[in-house]
Structure 1
């Protein structure tokens, strides 16, 4: 049951056509781009995928298609866990578990919908474990929507001790919490994967098994290099670490629309349409497209320097 669900894990976008349908051709190009850019696994049907705006049939079809496009070249994990009732959750999770994914990712705030604490979380988890196949690997995601529900240490241990969990997308945004969770995970195979860009490299040095933040949709290859070299005592590593942290501050400026603009420039998508961002990001966020130009140029320069280093070695 144990699956590789760590490393650089892009939180996948869902491309849409201008008339609001899933752009399957764009999705195919996107999957290839992730793979060629050094992704270790793909996280489909997550918040970046706009899962709260996808109907169940779309979530199922999206998960199946990503599995098919990946073709076994790397693991695919998926969530789509958005139901307000246990009945709805049972339907969606059983359906998602049957799409061929390598791990089914549970959203922590759905296991405790009312924010009632550990006992409610325990009951929610027990319900899910009674539904999904016993050989289905599981993940956890501290998704910020509709509210960020962080795990307590006790809850982390409860999940670890089931032997079912292979990955946590950590959204604590706190280095001390990441370090503590890594220690709690030990050699259990429960990988803690940080999702906050400001602490990305530091978290790697403390044992975070990769990165799963939103800017894996802009330069997963740079995060892949950083993951391999996070402990390097070099000016180049420090410069890249700072660039990635600062560039990610653009996230509030219309993401995921911002990333979709980027991919239309690359030719991955033909449309920037988003069900979440229903406005023109250039009108609301002044000079955001100029900022995107700077991010693109900066990333290209770091790639050039990495390539030169590789040639010398």
Structure 2
């Protein structure tokens, strides 16, 4: 995981059975879909995974299952902080690391309250690193419980420890991303952008790749973009893909992740639309919007001759 090789890191869904239990069979099939699509890594136990609705035991079981199915083909990162004293968070970080993850992800909004200064956040990060010697980590600027952004200068400090190898950026700010890339240049570190509105420009600026919810609809399309964003002979096609992602941003975020599970159902994956998160009603209007998205993607995929994973 570094900025020299572009790749897509899916923020993985957690399939559930209709009774609400984790569906490990479907999770295995979904993991294989991501891999077959060309993902360069996997982010398990994240917000798209409904991590806050899982128990600690379920979190660890999900991570272990993904690692088992992946069988070393690509790196796997997974969230390891869920609030409370730093000492308690560190203990769970070690448990997540013991599953075999390549890095344990720290949720920025759970290491300091919203009204606390950056100094308090920095202190807890360094304290957590001290309590988890040798464990590679990364950051996720998760919007829950609130979005705490890391400044370029802060990120430089953390990456300089040699322990931080991954960062999922949700700043939505291309200039901030460019500064983060400049200040962390030369380290074994990868910045992955979540914001598809400037996906192409972020890749051109030097980000390691993309880590976005759009990959839970059509991972092949995000892989294609990572592979072809800078090819002059495909400039028009790249612009078309970028515009497609921009135009469908709201549709893909509405009632998510129910809608992405429904989309994958339509693509042929045996997955229930059940979610534990309360995300709103999956209405006929929402269903119709996803039907249109499915048709538009089908047309785009055929025009670009993208091989589908399912």
Q: 1:42 to 1:308 in 2, by over 3 A?
A: closer
Deviations, residues 54-106 of structure 1 (Å, cap 9, x unaligned): 11111111111110010111111101421233243123212111111111111
- Which residue of structure 1 aligns with residue 51 of structure 2? 51
- Which residue of structure 2 aligns with residue 248 of structure 1? 249
Gaps of 5+ in 1: none
SS of equivalent to 2:227: helix
Does residue 307 of structure 2 align to residue 306 of structure 1? no
- TM-aligned CA deviation for residue 53 of structure 1: 0.8
- Which residue of structure 2 aligns with residue 76 of structure 1? 76
Aligned-residue CA RMSD in angstroms?
A: 2.2
Distance 1:278 1:112 in 2: 26
The aligned runs of 1:75-224 (5 Å cut-off) are 75-134=75-134, 136-224=135-223
- Which residue of structure 1 aligns with residue 264 of structure 2? 263
Distance 1:3 1:175 in 2: 16
Deviations, residues 102-122 of structure 1 (Å, cap 9, x unaligned): 111111112223541221112
Alignment length, in residue pairs?
305
Deviations, residues 120-173 of structure 1 (Å, cap 9, x unaligned): 112211221122241x22111101100000002221111111011111100001
Q: What TM-score, normalized by structure 1, do the two folds share?
A: 0.91
Distance 1:6 1:157 in 2: 21
SS of equivalent to 2:93: helix
Does the 8 Å CA contact 1:6/1:167 hold for their aligned counterparts? no
Gaps of 5+ in 2: none
- Which residue of structure 1 aligns with residue 288 of structure 2? 290
Distance 2:140 2:271 in 1: 30
Does the 8 Å CA contact 2:220/2:306 hold for their aligned counterparts? no
SS of equivalent to 1:124: helix
Does residue 277 of structure 2 align to residue 276 of structure 1? yes
Q: What TM-score, normalized by structure 2, do the two folds share?
A: 0.92
Distance 1:243 1:47 in 2: 24
SS of equivalent to 1:106: strand
Deviations, residues 158-217 of structure 1 (Å, cap 9, x unaligned): 111101111110000111111111111111122111101111111111111110011110
The aligned runs of 1:5-84 (5 Å cut-off) are 7-84=7-84
Distance 2:153 2:201 in 1: 24
Deviations, residues 253-284 of structure 1 (Å, cap 9, x unaligned): 1001111112222342342110113653116x
Does the 8 Å CA contact 1:6/1:193 hold for their aligned counterparts? no
SS of equivalent to 2:248: helix
Does the 8 Å CA contact 1:138/1:166 hold for their aligned counterparts? yes
Q: 1:5 to 1:121 in 2, by over 3 A?
A: farther
Distance 1:273 1:96 in 2: 26
SS of equivalent to 2:283: helix
Distance 2:261 2:84 in 1: 29
Distance 2:239 2:29 in 1: 32
Distance 1:98 1:87 in 2: 17
